[in-house]
Amino acid sequence: MSVFAQLASRKDCPRADTAGPVVIMTRIRLARNLRDCFFPDRADAQMRAHIRERCEKALGSLPAFKGGLVFDIERLNEWDKDVLVESHLISRELAQAKPGASVFISKDCNACVMVNEEDHLRMQFLRAGLQFKQAYKNAEQLDKALEKKLDFAFSDELGYLTACPTNVGTGLRGSALMHLPGLVLSGQMEKVVRAVSLLGMTVRGLSGEGSEAHGSMFQISNQQTLGEKETQILQHIEAVLGTIVEQEENARLRLIEDSPEKLFDKIGRCYGTLRHAHVLTSSEALNFLSLIRLAADLNILPPEKRPALDELIVQVQPGHLRGIVGSQSMPPAQRDIARAAFLRERMKAFPEPDFSKAGL
Partner 1 sequence: MAENHKCDMCGKPATVHLTQIINNQSQKIDLCEACAQKKGMAASEAFGLSDLVAKTMTQISQTVGEALAQSSVELCPRCGMTPLQYKEAGRLGCPECYGALSSVVEPMLQQTQHAGKHLGKAPARDEAAQKRLELQAALKEAVAAERYEDAARYRDELGKLEAEPSAAK
Instruction: Give the binding-site size for partner 1 (rule: CB under 8 A).
Output: 42
Name beta bridge partners: 112.
Answer: 105, 124
Q: Judged by CB under 8 A, does residue 57 bind partner 1?
A: no
Closest to partner 1 by CB, 226 vs 256, is: 226
Nearest one of 235, 219, 356, 319 to 2, comparing CA atoms: 319
Residues in CB range of 223: below 8 A, 6 or more apart: 166, 197, 200, 201, 202
State the distance between the two ends of the chain, measured CA to CA, in whole angstroms. Answer: 44
DSSP for 35-99, written as a single string: TTS--TTTS-HHHHHHHHHHHHHHHHTSGGGTT-EEEEGGGS-HHHHHHHHHTTSS-HHHHTPPT
Closest to partner 1 by CB, 159 vs 323, is: 159
Closest to partner 1 by CB, 33 vs 131, is: 33
Sites for partner 1 among residues 132-171 (CB under 8 A): 140, 143-144, 147-149, 151-159, 161, 163-166, 168-170
DSSP for 88-156, written as a single string: TSS-HHHHTPPTT-EEEE-TTSSEEEEESSSSSEEEEEEEESS-HHHHHHHHHHHHHHHHTTS-B-EET
Q: Are 162 and 119 in contact (CB under 8 A)?
A: yes
The nearest distance, CB 70 to partner 1, in angstroms, is: 23
Give the number of other CB atoms < 10 A from CB of residue 71: 21
Among 80, 230, 284, 310, binds partner 1 (CB under 8 A): 230
Sites for partner 1 among residues 168-227 (CB under 8 A): 168-170, 172, 223-227
Closest to partner 1 by CB, 145 vs 314, is: 145
The nearest distance, CB 219 to partner 1, in angstroms, is: 18
The nearest distance, CB 223 to partner 1, in angstroms, is: 7
The nearest distance, CB 3 to partner 1, in angstroms, is: 28
Q: Are 192 and 173 in contact (CB under 8 A)?
A: no
Sites for partner 1 among residues 62-121 (CB under 8 A): 118
Amino acid making up residue 146: L
CA 280 to chain centre: 22
The nearest distance, CB 92 to partner 1, in angstroms, is: 16
Closest to partner 1 by CB, 158 vs 333, is: 158
Q: Judged by CB under 8 A, does residue 279 bind partner 1?
A: no
The nearest distance, CB 156 to partner 1, in angstroms, is: 7
Closest to partner 1 by CB, 5 vs 158, is: 158
Tell me the backbone φ, ψ of residue 127, rounded to 5 degrees: -145, 145
The nearest distance, CB 183 to partner 1, in angstroms, is: 27
Closest to partner 1 by CB, 30 vs 76, is: 30
Share in percent of the chain as helix, strand, coil (round to 5): 50, 15, 35
Q: Judged by CB under 8 A, does residue 42 bind partner 1?
A: yes
Q: Judged by CB under 8 A, does residue 249 bind partner 1?
A: no
The nearest distance, CB 161 to partner 1, in angstroms, is: 4
Classified as helix, coil or strand, 28 is strand
**By the criterion CB under 8 A, which residues form the site for partner 1?**
33, 35-39, 41-42, 118, 140, 143-144, 147-149, 151-159, 161, 163-166, 168-170, 172, 223-230, 232
